Structure 1
Amino acid sequence: MAIDDLLAVLADGEFHSGEALGEQLGVSRAAVWKQLKKLEQLGVTLHSVKGRGYRLPDTLVLLDEERISAALDPSVRRQLTSIQRSLILESTNATAMAESLRGDRHGCLYLAEQQTAGRGRRGRPWISPFGRNLYFSLCWTFSGGAAALEGLSLLVGLAVSQGLADMGIEDVQLKWPNDLLRQRRKLAGILLEMSGDASGQCQVVIGVGINVAMSKETAAAIDQPWCDLSDRAVPVDRNQLLAAVLNRLLPGLQRFSREGFEPFRAAWMARDAFAGESVVLSTPRHQIEGRCLGVDRSGALLLQTEQGQQAFHGGEVSLRGAP
């Protein structure tokens, strides 16, 4: 019996006795008990009531390759080489990077219910509780080397925001270079990692994390203002959300490969969280204050500073509103 099998039964949110679980799954009560303990070790909350059995506190819908595929546009589905879902990974990006070093993994999608070592930009941890949020990484091959990737993180952020809008979540803004915000709090982040020829064909792992229904206990470890989608009147189905994002992202990547970031610039700036505002840009060596003027055709941040208009590209930088 796999944990997936046990979760599939408990996912209805109803009480199930150990005996009933054993009968339904064809195993002993001792085997059921061991798997229940594994769930607790994963951080999955279980309610146990003597005489009634065990239940999940909320209805749990796991990521499902078939449900995701069924919700994809046919043209998008054809572009995906594979969808590989895991219960637990150190990180989807690390798995995708390891796979891409073994050969071309263009169009391969990696999902996880939980990450034990999820990463954000600048080496920060990405809090990744089990079955609560969305963590995925997509391998995509580009020609033209690193120079052809300018603005890629902005395109990905735009596509994610458009997918969210297609799900009725329209109050999402973009923070340069790769964060998504709601009410100035972080909803999602993007991490890009490249392998291959820096001046020729290369593979990029596009990692995305979206907070869907973060538990308060887990969220205590987050060291910055954050938000999720738990305020929605109808709970967000992660399978539908992932499909909506992919339906925007893959066509966007195809066009980006041909035309670069410039065709997406106006749409990105329409969602710019700091448009026209005073901001502080921090680099490893300096802090630069200025007024945000959006981005140029390559995706570089434009600031009006005391020295005039300046353009800043991605890297080890951080942007925040001025005090």
Structure 2
Amino acid sequence: MDDNADLTLIRHLADGRFHSGAELGEALGISRAAIWKRVQRLDEWGLAVESVRGKGHRLSRPLDLLDPAALALALDGRASLKFKPVTASTNADALALAAAGQASPVVVTTEFQSAGRGRRGRAWQSPFGANLYVSVLYELAGGFSALGGLSLAAGVAVARALERLAPGLGVGLKWPNDVLVDGAKLGGVLIELAGEMEGGVQVVVGVGLNVAMSDRQAGAIDQSWIDLQRACASPPSRTDLVAAVALELIDMLDRFAVDGFAPFMAPFEALDLCRGRPVTVHAAEGVRPAVARGVGEDGALCVEMDGETRFVHGGEVSLRLQ
């Protein structure tokens, strides 16, 4: 793909109205036949285009494109901004910046990820202009051992941003990194690290949130999901959402750098969807039923299993909804 030309085409189609091949060809300086070929390739970015003889081409739904200038202004000098309309992964980009010695904090965001990642290497569906994909690069002292509970604190920050922009949304958190609304997954957090085991650590906090995703775009998702368009009457703009999430994450990291997880333990417990519920723990020793009993001071999940209290530091937890 010629990304620049295709991005120009998308910007012309973003309003959701029909545009003739002649109009688009003039805007891009190419023939109507070449426009047709480019329209067909937009499917690779998760975009559905309707083409009608005599009317032209339009996107199946309008796009709320990010405004990098407005986003940089909203960050108000708290962090530098790295925006690429199309990338493989914002987390990978942030890790590359860390390796290159980039000063932090840095906010990395995009319209589309070709290789978005969730936990355990799972693919994260990232159609163009549909959702939020943002990563914050931040340096923390104290080594890897000081990072217990960071993903839970990040979940609290995301919940705070959502509550500010969409009051009454009813966000809940599922240990260790899922953001849920009405029992369905709205998004998640992915923490990645670079640095020394005992020294300064470059932390990348990646957040993905579903904003306005079609059933077709979500076809590969194998669990119950929801987006802001379905969850609230007036979804915030994607630019406002990126700014709010990034600033809450930076506030959280500033506090975490001084006090660790402690200030976020009670806020997390107020949003904890697992506490007191039957859960299935997927751990190294296998799949076991348990009851969640909150979290420890290091962010580990406390469970009651086989009559004993245990702390789960890794693996996964599934809610057994009844």
Please say whether Structure 1 and Structure 2 have the same fold, judged by a TM-score greater than 0.5: yes
* Amino acid in the other structure paired with 2:9: L
1:20 aligned residue (20, 23, 42): 23
- Give me the whole-angstrom Cα distance separating, in 1, the residues matched to 2:177 and 2:46: 28
- Counterpart Cα distance in 2 of 1:144 and 1:103: 19
Q: Contact 1:82 / 1:107 at 8 angstroms: preserved in 2? A: no
Counterpart of 1:163?
Answer: 161
Which deviations, in whole Å up to 9, do the C-alpha atoms of 1:224-259 show, x marking residues without a partner?
222212223234421111112123211111001000
Q: Given the alignment of the two structures, is residue 29 of structure 1 paired with residue 32 of structure 2, yes or no? A: yes
Q: Please tell me whether the aligned partners of residues 166 and 236 of structure 2 are also in contact (alpha carbons under 8 angstroms).
A: no
2:97 matched residue in structure 1: 99
Q: 78-87 or 11-20: which moved more? A: 78-87
Candidates 47, 64, 67, aligned match of 2:67: 64
Label 1:60 to 1:141 Cα distance change in 2 as closer, same or farther (>3 A): same
Q: CA RMSD in A?
A: 2.0
Secondary structure of the structure 2 residue equivalent to 1:129:
coil
Secondary structure at the aligned position of 1:200 is classed as coil
Change (3 A) 1:295 1:41: closer
TM-score (norm 1): 0.90
**Distance of 1:42 and 1:227 partners within structure 2:** 20
SS of corresponding position for 1:198: coil
Corresponding letter in the other structure for 2:286: H
Instruction: Give CA deviations for 1:178-200 in whole Å, capped at 9, x if unaligned.
Output: 11111222111111111110110
* Residues 29-38 or 274-283, more deviating: 29-38
Note the C-alpha offset of 1:6. 2.1
Q: Report if aligned partners of 2:5, 2:28 keep a CA contact under 8 Å in 1.
A: no
Offset of 1:144 from its aligned partner?
0.4
Q: Deviations over 1:68-114 (max 9, x none)?
A: 234x3xxx532212232332x22222222223222234222222222
1:208 pairs with 2:207: yes
Query: Does residue 1:321 correspond to 2:293, yes or no?
Result: no
Within 5 Å, give how 1:172-251 maps onto structure 2: 172-231=171-230, 232-251=232-251
Following TM superposition, by how much is the alpha carbon of 1:30 offset from its aligned partner in structure 2, in angstroms? Answer: 4.6
In structure 1, distance between residues paired with 2:280 and 2:321: 5
Shift of 1:284: 2.3
Deviation at 1:26, TM superposition (A): 4.6
Query: How far apart are the structure 2 equivalents of 1:290 and 1:42?
Result: 41
1:247 and 1:148, CA in 2 relative to 1: closer, same or farther beyond 3 A? Answer: same
Identity of aligned residues (%): 42
Q: CA offset at residue 27 of structure 1?
A: 4.5
**Aligned-partner SS, 1:230:** helix
> How far off its partner does 1:34 sit?
4.2
Matched, 1:109 2:115: no
What amino acid sits opposite 2:147 in the alignment? L
Amino acid at match of 1:137: S
Gaps of 5+ in 1: none
Q: Which residue of 2 aligns with 1:306?
A: 306
Say whether the 8 Å CA contact 1:289–1:322 is kept in structure 2.
no
Aligned length, in residue pairs: 317
The range that moved more, 127-136 or 259-268, is: 127-136
CA contact (8 A) 1:274 1:321 kept: no
Decide whether aligned partners of structure 1 residues 267 and 83 sit closer, same or farther in structure 2, where only a CA change above 3 A counts: same
Letter in 2 for 1:106: S
> How far does residue 272 in structure 1 lie from its aligned partner after superposition?
0.5
Q: In the aligned structure 1, how far is the partner of 2:22 from the partner of 2:213?
A: 32
CA distance in 2, matches of 1:116, 1:122: 17
Q: TM-score, normalised by structure 2?
A: 0.91
